Amino acid sequence: MENLKDKVAYITGGTKGIGLGVAKTLLDNGMKVVISGRSDASIQEGLKSLNDENAMGVVSDVSKIEDEMNAVNQIAAKWGQLDVVLANAGVGNFAPIDEMTEVQWHQMIDTNLNGVFHTLKASIEELKKSKGYYMTLASLAGTNFFPSGAGYNASKFGVVGFTQAAMLDLRKYDVKVTTIMPGSVATHFNNHVPDDSDAWKIQPEDIGQLVLDLLKMHSRTLPSKIEVRPTRPDKK
């Protein structure tokens, strides 16, 4: 996209963590940004921290397609266009597979995997109109499996496969599609509270910079799958 000014981005799960970091970066670069989350309280907190008149919030649970349809309708009604979608909302429940509950399993699949489909389904006609960009926030867990990660790995391997196939389907409409696969990022993921000991991790604004770089890339070129990791792993 040559000019980002007044382009409209929708970031699912933008109330904190990576989504909020990307929202700040895009707002700082002249875009209009919509963040979503599951509750009005968390949306209000996110909007307060953004403190920008070009930010808007919608309550939407990505595991429900009707919520995502409604979110995109609200965005189109307010700003008349949708140029960038970052399907970022996600949860992690980690346990050995013999101990993992059905509730934990379904929450991950419904949010991390079904959610990215719901977000794409709801936004694709707007993205075709704008020749826009759809990104998913997968993980290195979408290519590396580990103990206690069966459910999370299943959801993120699914997101990577889904996004790559969608990229092949949608490029004929000039809709770009990319999956971003980070290693450790300093966020609230899995009830973590970020603090100084997270300095070695990728920071949310670094993912913001990455998204910005992707948006500014020449239209003829598409980095479709991106692994990104801390330069130096934790030395503890």
Ligand X SMILES: NC(=O)c1ccc[n+]([C@@H]2O[C@H](COP(=O)([O-])OP(=O)(O)OC[C@H]3O[C@@H](n4cnc5c(N)ncnc54)[C@H](OP(=O)(O)O)[C@@H]3O)[C@@H](O)[C@H]2O)c1
Residues near ligand X, by CB under 6 A: 12-19, 36-39, 42, 61-63, 88-92, 111-112, 137, 139, 182, 184-185, 187-189
Which residue lies nearer to ligand X by CB, 63 or 123?
63
Torsion of CA 152, 203, 124, 144, to 10 degrees: -30
Which residue lies nearer to ligand X by CB, 133 or 152?
152
Q: Which helix (H) or strand (E) holds 55?
A: strand 55-59
Which residue lies nearer to ligand X by CB, 4 or 59?
59
Closest distance of CB 109 from ligand X, Å: 11
Closest distance of CB 17 from ligand X, Å: 2
- Whether 45 and 57 have beta carbons less than 8 Å apart is answered as no
Taking alpha carbons only, the member of 59, 69, 65, 63 closest to residue 14 is: 59
φ/ψ of residue 89, rounded to 5: -55, 135
- Whether 174 and 131 have beta carbons less than 8 Å apart is answered as yes
Which residue lies nearer to ligand X by CB, 129 or 184?
184
Closest distance of CB 182 from ligand X, Å: 4
Which residue lies nearer to ligand X by CB, 209 or 219?
209
Most distant CA atoms of the chain, gap in Å: 51
Bin 55: left if φ > 0, else alpha if -120 < ψ < 50, else beta. beta
Closest distance of CB 76 from ligand X, Å: 19
Closest distance of CB 210 from ligand X, Å: 12
CA distance 168 to 152: 25
Closest distance of CB 148 from ligand X, Å: 15
Which residue lies nearer to ligand X by CB, 12 or 25?
12
Taking alpha carbons only, the member of 93, 89, 141 closest to residue 115 is: 89
